[in-house]
Structure 1
Amino acid sequence: MTTPAKSTPATTPPTPTSPSDHGLAEDVRAGLDLAIAAVAAGGRTWALLTLGQRRTLLQRIRASVATVADEWADVAATSKGLGPGHPLRGEEWLSGPYAALVALDAYADTVGALARGESPIARAAIRRAPGGRVAVRTSPLTATDRLLLSGYSTEVWLEPGTSVADARGSAGLAQRHPEEPGGVGVVLGAGNVSSIPFLDVLYELLSANRTAILKVNPTQDALVPVFERALAPLIEPGFLRIVRGGGDVGAYLTRHPSIDHVHVTGSEATFRAIVPGLTVPITAELGGVSPIIVVPGDWSDADLRFQAEHVVTMRLQNAGHNCIAGQVVILSSDWSQRDAFLRELRTAYDRAPQRTVWYPGSEARMDAARAAYPDAAWCGDGTRALVVADAAEAAAVEQTEYFAPVLGVVSVAGLGQDFVDAAVAHANERLMGTLGANVLVDPVTQRALGDGFERAMADLRYGTVAINAWTAFGFLTPTATWGAFPGGTVDDAPSGIGVVHNAFLLDRVERTVVRGPFRPFPRSLSTARAQRLRGGLSVLPKPPWFVTSRTGAAVSEGFTRFRIDGDWAKMVVTLLRAFRA
């Protein structure tokens, strides 16, 4: 299986002695060649840096990110049609500068531990997960996170057969051998979330000692000046170059004889276009159709309402243009509250704030949904499809990543463990991809299911499994991992190959498991004891990333500013705003 430090090479003809020009102008080719040469030279410099110097470099990047954070969030929000005062602008704070800052802090801690001669996970809690797997507790790690993100936790489960000693001894990947160069990589940046290219560059450098050429997706061209300033400490010594362009530039770079590795975050179609003729290893994150398994239980009206808003957030955050968007809700046809939940889901889907469906190609995908499901309910402003489909009609919504606000609902029979097992099998066998799965279960039901529930979670073949949380929480947690379930190859990679983020630099990763609170504060008080099995008491009345949070923009900005300056007085004001969500 693929590890973070290794990837599957394409079995194709030998490397050409010179790249095809792909129709590029001579001056464009010359500029790209110069960029690659500069990064190759930078790789030799990188190999000379001590771990202490690398940690200092990460701190310099952090200072640069803090300087551009306001502009980063504003440019990203404006480019998506979220003008000043829009209630969803907080999305761009969390998925942009916030994600960058917490990752830099986590990587700096890992490099610092290695510099002291310690394993990055020497002090991490480790337990045995189902199947004898090693599970490394990766958050919360500090008192601050236990407060601000109370009730949420992440674990990274390693591949079966990995021992605790192996886990501790291999953590650090390439930073265990900093003097060994990893060559030059090409990072083909995602176009939907602004932190993805930034984080992918960091992972190339730290997991593999690879300097990089970052080709920014044209949808993020407006952010290039921000990236150049944020990443100036990497650009100045030649560890990184940022270039713009379309598919022709990407094709030239990926076929260049001086390139040693390719990483892409994008669609499976993009991956399929890259692989033919590729002669170097490739890693990729390609999305998929994510399930939301709703385990039947005895829910209050408030539970139904809150979890319906939770599901709507999974679909509508970033207008649905997310590889981590929940797309197919799996309900029990025997659940007595099924119809009540569907009513709350339709209401929440209708009432979520209006926004532009902005990603290129979205209209065509929405038209495909209209054609496949002429009876779908079109909610809100008419740009959100809710598809309730039976087994015979579900193929399109289960096998097409719409990357737009299309939410499907399917049903399987059963209650209790019978339903959980059937829903897991349905997700594994019927839905396209293996990137992320979401499971909603009340604590009374989860406790009654006991070990059977945990076994079922181990049976889900997804790179991130989120229980009473959205998989996006794992994406934003730097010490968690993000990527497809292991086993993807260049010939069959429905959600990609390898992982990213992974700030502990763990080897032999199988998945990340996220756990969250079923109920928000103050109703979480009634379930705190049960949640403490693995979760905890939440002090958040509604998470700021919910699209229905009235104060989400201000709270998300406040969380980011706290990561910059650590000012608790301002953070108290932010928390008071959170209680008005």
Structure 2
Amino acid sequence: MTTTSPSAPRELSPDADTRVTLDAALTRLRAGAAAWADLPAAGRRHLLREVRAAVSAAADDWARIAAASKGLDPRHPLAGEEWLAGPYAAIVALDAYADTLDALARGRSPLAGIRTSTAPGGRTVVHTSPLRVSDRILLSGYTTEVWLRPGVTSHEARDAAGLASRHPLRSTGVGLVLGAGNVTSIPFLDVLYELLAEGRVALLKVNPTQDTLVPVFERALAPLIEAGFAAVVSGGGDVGAYLTRHPEIDHVHITGSETTFRAIVGSGEDRLRVPITAELGGVSPIIVVPGRWTKADLRFQAEHVATMRLHNSGHNCIAGQVVLLSRDWDQREGFERELRRAFARAPRRPVWYPHALERLRRLRDTYPDSEWFAGDTRAIVSGDGEIETTEYFAPVLGIIDLPGTGAAFLDAAVAHANDRLTGTLGANLLIDPISQHSLGPGFEAAIARLRYGTVAVNGWTAFGFLTPTATWGAFPGGTVDDAPSGIGIVHNALLLDDVERTVVRGPFRPFPRSLGRGRFSVLPKPPWFVTSRTGGAVSQGFARFRIDGRIGPLLVTLARAFGA
């Protein structure tokens, strides 16, 4: 639940000079909307290449300023997060969209040559990554699939892929993007989706937490801004409120909290008059299926869980918040012990997001038996209650007891996640290869029953967020009156229609323990793990390789990865 600045009361309004600036930006975008609709796929592809060059030139400043905005020195071991969640995410998305536009320009479906299969319930599965050799190297062992809604055939999927970029025959107007305040690539990626999937030019209103990045966004989006296809503005809730009710806005997209979403939608005479899509976060489960794990497995997966919660200091809509554990697992105590060690071992960092410290103080009253780590800046709590219904957006992890082992536990965990936890954005599932094999087809059926927009098996849902050809958003069914995790999807660089969810699959064990033991990976500890000693350098190296494709520096980066 990435939080935007709250909408101001309707009687408040920006000052006259600000209104003039906003009105002028919208007037220019309105003129650009028709030109965007007239631009064919080949022209859009060429423009994206210009944007790619602009992002590449701004990458160093992007990562440095983003880290500083979160209280991190560029040499901090976790500063590499800002390379992956910023320039890296932007570059891989631009490359993936360019491939889609290239296919459309040649009169082909973006799904030409991409494998499809089936999943339980009559679902077509599109195998969306890896699609490039570089993905197989950098992200070895990790895959993504997009599951379409039941009944959609692979033939129908190929015909529909392309969305508004397939037949850009008319303008769909001007979209307002209310940018997220926590992850710096989100506003940039949301602008791309407005343009390419929805056919709308976009006004990006930057969250105040990212005001220092406004010049970076302007540089990165300069080719689109100069053509009249995008604009960037800043300001608080008064600016947001003014823009959501502006007559030149045809659609609103927000990445933020449900509270802010409700304020924007309004009620009665003040009801929002245009359609809205949203990504609103939620309480994400981490389902740990009992099995026979080695000591190395317990430690690795405990660090995996700690990463899901502590990345970006817990200020992520994709953060795992509740671990569902079996009370009948004979290795449970060992796993919890390793989890506490990982929480204590991860480098300290500021709790920087607005109001997060207040939520941590409230936690002490709500869960007086909570365990605190790293100078009382992160906590683990046991038991049900608020931890299941309120997204803390802070470094707080809950542990919930459930009965059973094997299929009985998995069934109970799926039901608990679906029925007791708030939201439908993402669910994580950890299971060893032997246990997964013993469940047979029942395991895939359990994935199908999870009502989440992204399900990660031996991975973190953030991998789906970072993969441009995957989709990101709530499970279908949200409405303006009931949208705990939002409405619609983003990313989706293959421009697929009728999407139900993304499924991420990763290796249960890293290299070299992955040899002959389940899904193979050449990666040692992944660089995004908060416990990786070389994660900062490796993350930066991965991003630089995506930018320039130079093999020599990549080999140095891969050598560093084995020092994690």
TM-score normalized by the length of structure 1: 0.94
State yes or no: 1:557 paired with 2:551: no
The C-alpha deviation readout for 1:178-203, integer Å capped at 9, x for no partner, is 23211001000000000000000000
Alignment of 1:315-326 (within 5 A): 315-326=309-320
Amino acid at match of 2:532: S
Amino acid at match of 2:50: R
Q: SS of the residue aligned with 2:514?
A: helix
- The equivalent residue for 1:156 is 146
- The equivalent residue for 1:288 is 282
- Higher mean Cα deviation, 221-230 or 41-50? 41-50
Q: SS of the residue aligned with 2:323?
A: strand
Amino acid at match of 2:526: P
Tell me if the contact between 2:534 and 2:563 (Cα under 8 Å) persists in the aligned partners: yes
Tell me if the contact between 2:13 and 2:242 (Cα under 8 Å) persists in the aligned partners: no
- Higher mean Cα deviation, 358-367 or 196-205? 358-367
The C-alpha deviation readout for 1:122-167, integer Å capped at 9, x for no partner, is 1111000111100000000112211221100000000011111110
Alignment equivalent of 2:197, drawn from 196, 207, 223: 207
Q: SS of the residue aligned with 1:208?
A: coil
Whole-Å separation in 1 of the counterparts to 2:163 and 2:350: 41
Alignment of 1:75-474 (within 5 A): 75-276=65-266, 277-389=271-383, 394-474=384-464
Tell me if the contact between 2:187 and 2:204 (Cα under 8 Å) persists in the aligned partners: yes
Please state how far the C-alpha of 1:560 moved relative to its aligned partner: 0.5
Identity percentage over the alignment?
68
Tell me if the contact between 1:21 and 1:252 (Cα under 8 Å) persists in the aligned partners: no
Tell me if the contact between 1:383 and 1:405 (Cα under 8 Å) persists in the aligned partners: yes
Q: SS of the residue aligned with 1:500?
A: strand
Whole-Å separation in 2 of the counterparts to 1:88 and 1:570: 21
Whole-Å separation in 1 of the counterparts to 2:339 and 2:11: 51
Whole-Å separation in 1 of the counterparts to 2:343 and 2:45: 45
Please state how far the C-alpha of 1:526 moved relative to its aligned partner: 3.2
Please state how far the C-alpha of 1:258 moved relative to its aligned partner: 1.3
Whole-Å separation in 1 of the counterparts to 2:487 and 2:51: 28
Tell me if the contact between 2:507 and 2:521 (Cα under 8 Å) persists in the aligned partners: yes
Whole-Å separation in 2 of the counterparts to 1:93 and 1:194: 10
- The equivalent residue for 2:27 is 37
Amino acid at match of 2:335: F
Amino acid at match of 1:525: L
- The equivalent residue for 1:540 is 523
Please state how far the C-alpha of 1:368 moved relative to its aligned partner: 1.8
Please state how far the C-alpha of 1:213 moved relative to its aligned partner: 0.8
- The equivalent residue for 2:487 is 497
Structure 2 residue runs of 5 or longer lacking an equivalent are 1-8
Whole-Å separation in 1 of the counterparts to 2:12 and 2:472: 32
Tell me if the contact between 1:172 and 1:505 (Cα under 8 Å) persists in the aligned partners: yes
Amino acid at match of 2:369: D
Q: SS of the residue aligned with 1:524?
A: coil
The C-alpha deviation readout for 1:299-350, integer Å capped at 9, x for no partner, is 0000000000000000000000000000000000100001110000001101
Whole-Å separation in 2 of the counterparts to 1:472 and 1:434: 14
State yes or no: 1:580 paired with 2:563: yes
Please state how far the C-alpha of 1:22 moved relative to its aligned partner: 3.2
Q: SS of the residue aligned with 1:86?
A: coil
Whole-Å separation in 1 of the counterparts to 2:347 and 2:375: 10
Whole-Å separation in 1 of the counterparts to 2:14 and 2:303: 48
The C-alpha deviation readout for 1:6-39, integer Å capped at 9, x for no partner, is xxxxxxxxxxxxx977332111111111111111
- The equivalent residue for 1:3 is none
The C-alpha deviation readout for 1:92-136, integer Å capped at 9, x for no partner, is 000000000000000000011011111001111100011110000
Tell me if the contact between 1:216 and 1:243 (Cα under 8 Å) persists in the aligned partners: yes
Amino acid at match of 1:370: R
Tell me if the contact between 2:111 and 2:161 (Cα under 8 Å) persists in the aligned partners: yes
Tell me if the contact between 1:20 and 1:255 (Cα under 8 Å) persists in the aligned partners: no
Q: SS of the residue aligned with 1:330?
A: strand
- The equivalent residue for 1:568 is 551
Whole-Å separation in 2 of the counterparts to 1:468 and 1:578: 20
Alignment of 1:13-52 (within 5 A): 22-52=12-42
Whole-Å separation in 2 of the counterparts to 1:235 and 1:521: 45
TM-score normalized by the length of structure 2: 0.97
Amino acid at match of 1:434: T
Whole-Å separation in 2 of the counterparts to 1:316 and 1:92: 14
> How well do the aligned residues superpose, as a CA RMSD in angstroms?
1.0
Please state how far the C-alpha of 1:48 moved relative to its aligned partner: 1.9
Tell me if the contact between 1:21 and 1:29 (Cα under 8 Å) persists in the aligned partners: no
Please state how far the C-alpha of 1:369 moved relative to its aligned partner: 1.2
Whole-Å separation in 2 of the counterparts to 1:565 and 1:200: 24
Whole-Å separation in 1 of the counterparts to 2:25 and 2:169: 23
Q: SS of the residue aligned with 2:443?
A: helix
Whole-Å separation in 1 of the counterparts to 2:244 and 2:313: 31
Tell me if the contact between 1:412 and 1:419 (Cα under 8 Å) persists in the aligned partners: yes
Count of residues paired in the alignment: 552
The C-alpha deviation readout for 1:457-477, integer Å capped at 9, x for no partner, is 110000000000000000000
Whole-Å separation in 1 of the counterparts to 2:163 and 2:129: 20
Whole-Å separation in 2 of the counterparts to 1:396 and 1:304: 28
Please state how far the C-alpha of 1:84 moved relative to its aligned partner: 2.9
Amino acid at match of 1:250: G
Whole-Å separation in 1 of the counterparts to 2:122 and 2:74: 51
Q: SS of the residue aligned with 2:187?
A: helix
Q: SS of the residue aligned with 2:516?
A: helix
Please state how far the C-alpha of 1:175 moved relative to its aligned partner: 0.7
